[in-house]
Amino acid sequence: MAIRAVIFDLGGVLIDIDWERFRKDNPLRGQENDVYPYDYEQVNTGLAQFVRDLRSHYKIATICNGGSREAANRKFGLEKLVDLMIFDGEEGVSKPDARIYQLALVRLGMQPHEVVFVDDKERNVEAAQRLGIYAVLFKNTVQAISEVQKYLEREQIF
C-alpha cells in the first residue's frame, strides 16, 4: 500500500533554533543544553517548503512533546501548514510512548505502513519503527528530505 501521510516532530525538526543569534545575544550562555531559547525559535524554511510541496499528495501531521498548539499557531502559523497537530500536553502521553503514534494513525485514518515519521530523537524514531511506521532520524534538512523522498518515490507519487 502507498505512503499516504508524513508526520513531523516540531522542536529540532520543523521548528529550529537560531543558535548563532542566540550565542551572540547571550555570550555567557549559548550552549545548546543550557536553556531553551524560545525567543530564537524559527521555522525550518527548507523543510516547511517541502511540507507545502507534499501537501497536495499527502496528509501532513505533527507530534510534539512540549509546547502548545496556541503558541505554535500564533508564532508560526502551523495550522496553515499541516492537517493534524498532536501535542503531548493535550493528550497526556508523550513520545516515545506507542500510544501517541497510534493516536496519530487513528486521527489520520492510516495504517502504520502508510506513514513516514521524521524526528530528531533516535528513541522516538525507534518507537515509531516498532509499530511498523517508516521513520527518518533528522540530522539536517537536506538529509531528511532525501530520506523521506526515498520512501515516497518507491510509491511513484511524489
Q: What is the CATH number of the domain that holds 112?
A: 3.40.50.1000
The count of structural domains within the chain is 1
Amino acid identity, position 116: V
User: Could you write out the three-class secondary structure of 75-105?
Assistant: HHCHHHCCCEEEEHHHHCCCCCCHHHHHHHH
- Residue 114 falls inside a structural domain: yes
Is residue 35 in some structural domain? yes
Of 5, 11, 127, the closest CA to residue 67 belongs to: 11
135 in a structural domain: yes
Is residue 158 included in any domain, yes or no? no
| Structure confidence at residue 72 as a pLDDT band (50, 70, 90) | confident
| pTM score | 0.88
pLDDT > 70? residue 78: yes
pLDDT at 74: 84
Q: Which structural domain, as residue segments, surrounds residue 62? A: 5-153
Task: Quickly state the pLDDT bin for 121 (edges 50, 70, 90).
Answer: very high
DSSP state of 30: -
pLDDT of residue 1: 62
Which range (15-19, 47-51, 54-58, 76-80) has the least confidence? 15-19
Per-residue DSSP letter, 11:
B
- 58: which DSSP letter? S
